[in-house]
Amino acid sequence: MRPLVVLLCVSAAGLGIGSREVSAQPPATTVLERSIAYHDSQGRWQQSAFSLQLSESRPDGSKRSTRLSFDNGTGFFEIHTTREGAAIEGVLSAGDCTLRFRGSSEFSDEEREKYRLTCERLAWLRNYYTYLWSLPMKLRDPGTRIDPQAVDSQYQDKQVWEVRVTYDESVGKDTWYFYFDQETYALAGYRFYHDEAKRDGEYIVLEGETEIEGIKLPSARAWYTHADDEYLGTDTLVSLEVRP
Protein backbone atom coordinates (compact mmCIF):
# COMPACT_ATOMS: atom_id res chain seq x y z
CA MET A 1 0.00 0.00 0.00
CA ARG A 2 2.87 2.37 -0.08
CA PRO A 3 6.01 3.51 -1.81
CA LEU A 4 9.35 2.34 -0.50
CA VAL A 5 10.00 3.73 2.96
CA VAL A 6 13.39 5.29 3.57
CA LEU A 7 14.57 5.47 7.15
CA LEU A 8 17.88 7.29 7.44
CA CYS A 9 17.98 7.39 11.21
CA VAL A 10 18.47 4.53 13.59
CA SER A 11 15.43 2.83 15.01
CA ALA A 12 13.82 4.23 18.11
CA ALA A 13 15.67 1.64 20.17
CA GLY A 14 17.99 4.54 20.93
CA LEU A 15 21.19 3.06 19.48
CA GLY A 16 22.02 6.25 17.61
CA ILE A 17 20.72 9.59 16.46
CA GLY A 18 19.68 11.29 13.25
CA SER A 19 21.38 14.22 11.61
CA ARG A 20 20.71 16.60 14.52
CA GLU A 21 22.31 16.73 17.92
CA VAL A 22 20.51 14.95 20.73
CA SER A 23 19.99 18.26 22.54
CA ALA A 24 17.95 19.55 19.58
CA GLN A 25 15.49 16.70 19.74
CA PRO A 26 12.35 17.36 21.80
CA PRO A 27 10.81 15.01 24.35
CA ALA A 28 8.40 12.56 22.72
CA THR A 29 5.53 13.81 24.89
CA THR A 30 6.08 17.34 23.54
CA VAL A 31 5.88 16.09 19.95
CA LEU A 32 2.74 14.12 20.74
CA GLU A 33 0.95 16.99 22.47
CA ARG A 34 1.75 19.35 19.59
CA SER A 35 0.47 16.78 17.12
CA ILE A 36 -2.77 16.32 19.05
CA ALA A 37 -3.18 20.10 19.16
CA TYR A 38 -2.77 20.15 15.37
CA HIS A 39 -5.27 17.35 14.69
CA ASP A 40 -7.79 18.25 17.40
CA SER A 41 -7.32 21.97 17.99
CA GLN A 42 -10.47 22.30 20.11
CA GLY A 43 -9.99 19.15 22.16
CA ARG A 44 -13.26 17.65 20.93
CA TRP A 45 -12.21 14.12 20.05
CA GLN A 46 -12.98 12.61 23.45
CA GLN A 47 -16.17 14.64 23.89
CA SER A 48 -18.06 14.23 20.61
CA ALA A 49 -19.56 11.52 18.43
CA PHE A 50 -18.43 11.00 14.85
CA SER A 51 -19.59 9.41 11.62
CA LEU A 52 -17.06 8.34 9.00
CA GLN A 53 -17.77 7.07 5.52
CA LEU A 54 -14.90 4.93 4.20
CA SER A 55 -14.00 3.39 0.86
CA GLU A 56 -11.67 0.42 1.34
CA SER A 57 -9.87 -0.87 -1.76
CA ARG A 58 -7.74 -4.00 -2.04
CA PRO A 59 -5.03 -5.16 -4.50
CA ASP A 60 -7.44 -7.46 -6.35
CA GLY A 61 -9.47 -4.42 -7.38
CA SER A 62 -12.30 -5.03 -4.92
CA LYS A 63 -13.81 -2.14 -2.97
CA ARG A 64 -15.88 -2.08 0.17
CA SER A 65 -18.03 0.76 1.47
CA THR A 66 -18.06 1.10 5.26
CA ARG A 67 -19.88 3.58 7.47
CA LEU A 68 -18.78 4.00 11.08
CA SER A 69 -20.41 5.86 13.93
CA PHE A 70 -18.74 6.01 17.33
CA ASP A 71 -18.56 8.00 20.51
CA ASN A 72 -15.18 7.87 22.22
CA GLY A 73 -16.68 9.05 25.49
CA THR A 74 -19.34 6.35 25.85
CA GLY A 75 -17.81 3.49 23.84
CA PHE A 76 -20.77 3.38 21.45
CA PHE A 77 -19.86 1.87 18.09
CA GLU A 78 -21.89 1.16 14.97
CA ILE A 79 -20.75 -0.23 11.63
CA HIS A 80 -22.53 -0.70 8.31
CA THR A 81 -20.52 -2.49 5.64
CA THR A 82 -20.84 -4.85 2.69
CA ARG A 83 -18.96 -8.06 2.02
CA GLU A 84 -19.45 -9.90 -1.23
CA GLY A 85 -22.62 -7.94 -1.81
CA ALA A 86 -24.09 -8.75 1.60
CA ALA A 87 -25.04 -5.93 3.98
CA ILE A 88 -23.73 -6.34 7.54
CA GLU A 89 -24.64 -4.13 10.49
CA GLY A 90 -23.33 -4.20 14.04
CA VAL A 91 -23.89 -2.08 17.15
CA LEU A 92 -22.10 -2.11 20.50
CA SER A 93 -23.73 0.05 23.16
CA ALA A 94 -23.72 -0.09 26.94
CA GLY A 95 -22.59 -3.70 26.92
CA ASP A 96 -25.20 -4.80 24.40
CA CYS A 97 -24.29 -6.30 21.03
CA THR A 98 -26.59 -6.32 17.99
CA LEU A 99 -25.78 -7.95 14.64
CA ARG A 100 -27.80 -7.89 11.42
CA PHE A 101 -27.10 -9.70 8.18
CA ARG A 102 -29.02 -8.56 5.11
CA GLY A 103 -31.35 -6.69 7.44
CA SER A 104 -32.15 -9.65 9.68
CA SER A 105 -30.91 -10.56 13.16
CA GLU A 106 -31.31 -14.23 12.25
CA PHE A 107 -28.72 -16.02 10.11
CA SER A 108 -27.42 -19.52 9.62
CA ASP A 109 -24.35 -21.03 11.24
CA GLU A 110 -22.75 -21.12 7.79
CA GLU A 111 -23.38 -17.39 7.30
CA ARG A 112 -22.11 -16.68 10.81
CA GLU A 113 -18.84 -18.47 10.11
CA LYS A 114 -18.33 -17.15 6.58
CA TYR A 115 -18.99 -13.49 7.45
CA ARG A 116 -17.66 -13.68 11.03
CA LEU A 117 -20.94 -12.52 12.53
CA THR A 118 -19.98 -12.61 16.20
CA CYS A 119 -19.89 -10.08 19.01
CA GLU A 120 -16.19 -10.85 19.51
CA ARG A 121 -15.48 -9.89 15.92
CA LEU A 122 -17.59 -6.74 16.30
CA ALA A 123 -15.58 -5.73 19.38
CA TRP A 124 -12.37 -6.33 17.40
CA LEU A 125 -13.64 -4.10 14.59
CA ARG A 126 -14.47 -1.36 17.08
CA ASN A 127 -10.96 -1.47 18.54
CA TYR A 128 -9.38 -1.61 15.08
CA TYR A 129 -11.26 1.27 13.51
CA THR A 130 -11.39 3.57 16.51
CA TYR A 131 -7.66 3.10 17.15
CA LEU A 132 -6.55 3.89 13.62
CA TRP A 133 -8.95 6.75 12.94
CA SER A 134 -8.36 8.26 16.39
CA LEU A 135 -4.62 8.71 15.92
CA PRO A 136 -2.71 10.55 17.28
CA MET A 137 -5.30 11.35 19.99
CA LYS A 138 -5.51 7.67 20.88
CA LEU A 139 -1.92 7.74 22.12
CA ARG A 140 -3.16 9.36 25.33
CA ASP A 141 -5.00 6.18 26.33
CA PRO A 142 -4.05 4.36 29.57
CA GLY A 143 -1.56 1.56 29.04
CA THR A 144 0.34 3.45 26.33
CA ARG A 145 4.11 3.51 26.88
CA ILE A 146 5.86 6.33 25.04
CA ASP A 147 9.65 6.32 24.82
CA PRO A 148 11.03 9.51 26.42
CA GLN A 149 12.93 10.91 23.44
CA ALA A 150 11.79 11.69 19.93
CA VAL A 151 14.32 10.81 17.22
CA ASP A 152 15.21 12.94 14.18
CA SER A 153 14.41 10.73 11.19
CA GLN A 154 13.04 10.52 7.66
CA TYR A 155 9.86 8.82 6.46
CA GLN A 156 8.76 8.83 2.84
CA ASP A 157 11.50 11.40 2.07
CA LYS A 158 10.09 13.77 4.70
CA GLN A 159 11.97 15.02 7.75
CA VAL A 160 10.04 13.79 10.78
CA TRP A 161 10.16 13.17 14.49
CA GLU A 162 10.01 9.45 15.22
CA VAL A 163 8.29 8.32 18.43
CA ARG A 164 8.40 4.72 19.63
CA VAL A 165 5.33 3.37 21.42
CA THR A 166 4.68 0.10 23.22
CA TYR A 167 1.79 -0.97 25.43
CA ASP A 168 1.09 -2.65 28.72
CA GLU A 169 0.72 -6.38 28.07
CA SER A 170 -2.98 -6.23 28.89
CA VAL A 171 -3.46 -3.64 26.12
CA GLY A 172 -1.27 -4.88 23.27
CA LYS A 173 2.01 -6.57 22.41
CA ASP A 174 3.01 -4.82 19.17
CA THR A 175 5.75 -2.21 18.87
CA TRP A 176 4.75 0.96 17.00
CA TYR A 177 6.71 3.82 15.49
CA PHE A 178 4.90 7.06 14.72
CA TYR A 179 6.23 9.82 12.46
CA PHE A 180 5.38 13.50 12.85
CA ASP A 181 6.10 16.38 10.49
CA GLN A 182 8.79 18.55 12.06
CA GLU A 183 7.13 21.83 11.06
CA THR A 184 3.40 21.23 11.61
CA TYR A 185 3.58 18.13 13.85
CA ALA A 186 0.95 16.49 11.66
CA LEU A 187 0.99 12.69 11.77
CA ALA A 188 2.95 11.65 8.68
CA GLY A 189 2.76 7.85 8.94
CA TYR A 190 3.43 4.91 11.20
CA ARG A 191 4.51 1.28 11.33
CA PHE A 192 4.14 -1.66 13.68
CA TYR A 193 5.91 -4.94 14.39
CA HIS A 194 4.73 -8.09 16.11
CA ASP A 195 8.39 -9.13 16.38
CA GLU A 196 10.77 -6.41 15.29
CA ALA A 197 13.72 -8.81 15.03
CA LYS A 198 11.85 -10.65 12.27
CA ARG A 199 10.89 -7.41 10.46
CA ASP A 200 7.30 -8.55 10.30
CA GLY A 201 4.32 -6.22 10.56
CA GLU A 202 3.36 -3.37 8.27
CA TYR A 203 3.95 0.30 7.53
CA ILE A 204 1.31 2.84 6.66
CA VAL A 205 1.55 5.81 4.32
CA LEU A 206 -0.84 8.73 4.90
CA GLU A 207 -2.08 11.01 2.13
CA GLY A 208 -4.14 14.19 2.17
CA GLU A 209 -6.16 15.66 4.98
CA THR A 210 -9.85 16.06 5.79
CA GLU A 211 -10.83 18.85 8.18
CA ILE A 212 -14.15 19.61 9.86
CA GLU A 213 -14.91 21.66 12.97
CA GLY A 214 -11.30 21.72 14.13
CA ILE A 215 -10.72 17.99 13.51
CA LYS A 216 -8.03 17.03 10.97
CA LEU A 217 -7.74 13.41 9.87
CA PRO A 218 -5.69 11.80 7.09
CA SER A 219 -7.77 11.41 3.93
CA ALA A 220 -6.23 8.08 2.99
CA ARG A 221 -3.97 5.44 4.47
CA ALA A 222 -2.18 2.82 2.38
CA TRP A 223 -0.80 -0.38 3.93
CA TYR A 224 2.37 -2.33 3.04
CA THR A 225 4.29 -5.24 4.53
CA HIS A 226 7.79 -4.71 5.90
CA ALA A 227 9.02 -8.03 4.56
CA ASP A 228 8.64 -7.34 0.85
CA ASP A 229 6.81 -4.01 0.49
CA GLU A 230 3.69 -5.84 -0.59
CA TYR A 231 0.74 -3.49 -1.08
CA LEU A 232 -2.21 -4.57 1.09
CA GLY A 233 -4.83 -1.94 0.39
CA THR A 234 -5.96 1.66 0.84
CA ASP A 235 -8.60 3.04 3.18
CA THR A 236 -10.01 6.38 2.05
CA LEU A 237 -12.04 8.77 4.18
CA VAL A 238 -14.96 9.82 1.98
CA SER A 239 -16.66 12.00 4.58
CA LEU A 240 -16.35 12.99 8.23
CA GLU A 241 -19.21 14.29 10.37
CA VAL A 242 -19.18 15.53 13.94
CA ARG A 243 -22.46 14.46 15.50
CA PRO A 244 -24.32 16.27 18.28
d(CA 123, CA 90): 10
Regions in the chain scoring below 50 on pLDDT: 1-23
Exposure string over 141-165, b if 16+ CB within 10 A, otherwise e: eeebebbebbbbbbbbeebbbbbbb
pLDDT of 105 reads 93
69-102 pLDDT, tens digit per residue, is 999 888 899 999 988 888 999 999 988 999 999 9
Q: Do the beta carbons of residue 180 and residue 163 sit within 8 Å?
A: yes
Q: Measured between alpha carbons, how far is residue 39 from residues 131, 135, 183, 205 in Å?
A: 15, 9, 14, 17
pLDDT of 49 reads 93
pLDDT of 236 reads 97
d(CA 35, CA 27): 13
d(CA 60, CA 232): 10
Nearest Cα residue to 71 out of 89, 50, 52? 50
| Bridge partners, residue 225, by sequence | 202
d(CA 35, CA 92): 30
